[in-house]
Structure 1
Amino acid sequence: MAVFNRVEFDNHEQVVFCSDQESGLKAIIAVHSTKLGPAVGGCRLWDYVSDEDAVYDVLRLSKGMTYKNAVARLPFGGGKSVIIGNAKEIKSEALFRAFGRKLEGLGGAYYSAEDVNITCADVAIMNKETNYVLGLEGKSGNPSPFTALGTFLGIKAAYQHQHGHQDLAGVKVAVQGLGAVAYSLCKYLYEAGASLYVTDINQASIDRVVNDFNATAVGIDEIYDLDVDVYSPCALGATVNDNTIARLKATIIAGCANNQLAESRHGELLRQKGILYAPDYVINAGGIINVYYETAPGGYSAQASTKHVEGIFGTLSEIFARSVTEQKSTHLIADELAQEIIANGL
């Protein structure tokens, strides 16, 4: 299986393949950069079709964390980890303790936290074997509400850029994926007066949002064809691709999913079509910002974390303005901003 010559391999400092026969652990830890500080990024538990798919995911996600942490002005580098398997079948204390020992073996080069199919309780089990975890209950806790707040403010920043005001009353938003972050996002949007169109693979998640926020449920594939103002991808990545871009009627793409663009070229295609894209790792940085404040001098402060998350509005506004001035896609402007910060320091 190729690693070094993959496009996604961007001079990663370490890619560690982990296994533990007793617990059944199969995991990959990718440390992209520690230039600004220890690599920090969540652990994702997913039933990948192949090992190659898992490598592809962890390499992309870890590089994204380097850029996310830099643009969020956090003293963290970028890393990510994936545990391979079906969450409903393999979760156990032995599994997470084994993973914790693997983290401990890296000596602090990488700190993990919760991500898809990993809960704060799972991280607490890892914590029995290592201190190299963040996002623990009783400290910064669940990052989802902060990710949702940043995403909501990012939608407002995009609407402000396009329309000159932030009033979302009557604005139509299509939300794809209704996990913990997206549920909180829908609450913000509903309270702001937006009209919600939602979909998810889990019917119970759809029913909850429909009941709580007067949303309209639509089909999984139908979400791309809706006559809405904002498409908000909040599930897994690569939903912005050749097929979907041709179908989208929304003029704003702003959601909390990672790696929303299937390929880098899709960012420029969006710009040419007049669709404003809020770069994923900028708009969804609220969770990692909140986790940072677990490590801040003086202890965790939700107030300080919230204030930092509110800065996402200004960061995106800067990226949107530079995109217009420099006639470059917003995702390339975000990458340039990240690279400038990594090169010059915080």
Structure 2
Amino acid sequence: MSYRVAVAGATGAVGRELLRILAEREFPVSEVAALASARSTGQEISFGEKKVLKVQNLDTFDFTGWDIALFSPGASVSAIHAPRAAAAGCIVIDNTSQFRMEPDVPLVVPEVNAGALRKMKRNIVANPNCSTAQMVVALKPLHDLFTIRRIVVSTYQAVSGAGKDGMDELFTQTKGSFVNDPPTVAQFTKQIAFNVIPHIDRFMEDGATKEEWKMAVETRKILDPDIAVFATCVRVPVFIGHSEAISIECEKPVDLEKARAALRAAEGVVLRDERDDGGYVTPIECVGEDATYVSRLRIDPTVPNGLGLWCVSDNLRKGAALNAVQIAEALVAMKLVGA
């Protein structure tokens, strides 16, 4: 059986990645529509190696008869058009933050909580924040073994998390530094080239940023409502690939060899934990890869039942596009499309 699939926000970085991954993974499509704003209508965009799609106007697109819509057009646009698509009988998998914390919308990472798809009520499924997605993939096998009660995480997030404009700003500032051009700051609050910025999204009343808040509430919704999360989210001058230093406190005693065995066996995880020069994975090595990579596994002796690890993943793939396509694959496997 094959399906009619629409991609909203098709001209953006995540939208292009969605189309690329649908083709790479040979998702069973009978027809694909690339959707974007009116100013992009008529542009051509690739789907696979041979097919070229003409971009259609999301504002006027009729979702009747379409099976799945992969949305990544920005939260305010999803707020308007995702319910419209869902009302037409199309299942929406939304990459934006718009629906993540709504109680009747499943927030899904297939390796962690695919069963939540059976509770879908509104024909909408939410894709989590990119930094949350890779963290819960890495922590799920450890939670199953030792029952995690507290997470302290520091993220090192690539500029692609801010979209194409963020990547352009890093490139322009880096290039300009070699010819003494003063940096132009537009996408970030300070210069990003040769710098790190401990600020992603807006500040909240308690001093946390919204990105840090997202990691806490999304982890509890996906993995376990009883887990406490303290996050510090930092933007770094890397184009693609988020990194995370994670410390966990568990209810049960932690056995390092059991932890390694569980991570080796876990779906979506690759463990490279060599205690030698280069025996770990860095963000540049994960670009274009589907896996979440775990390294630097070690007992944390400063807390009871503590464990520390390093985690990297391609934020445009697992953090966004790949996870959305995996949700679509899970919906098909569970026979929920058209149900």
- The bucket for the TM-score relative to the shorter chain is 0.3 to 0.5
Structure 2 length normalisation: TM-score?
Answer: 0.34
Larger Rg: 2
Structure 1 length normalisation: TM-score?
Answer: 0.34
* Structure with more of its chain in strand, by fraction: 2
* Structure with more of its chain in helix, by fraction: 1
